[in-house]
Structure 1
């Protein structure tokens, strides 16, 4: 079974601060002082949180990208 490496990125130019990602996967996402979403330090790989993809889908402006590399 191949291990899946995931990289998460929040496009802060696109983010509107709805906070759906932080509500869905609070162990990976937070909101900064301006209300914009960001990935918590050290969590750019999602930390194995199964809700990361759901958080990306919940973003109303599709500001979150989850890139999967199975190498």
Structure 2
């Protein structure tokens, strides 16, 4: 294998590595975006649960159901 062939082989490998790195970066970005959306969703659910508890419309955890 000549030096030129080795150099071409290295350049090909480097290009593949750069492509893979770009793909992985995109995947990490998408996952972080999903995590942010899920955190916001959970925060909204927690606020809604607190609002329901504050309104008194949700039964208390210590309250017995009506059939007792």
Asked if Structure 1 and Structure 2 have the same fold, meaning a TM-score greater than 0.5 normalized by the shorter chain, the answer is no
Q: TM-score normalised to the size of structure 1?
A: 0.17
Higher relative contact order (CA 8 A, sep 6+): 1
Q: TM-score normalised to the size of structure 2?
A: 0.17
Greater percentage in helix: 2
Greater percentage in strand: 1
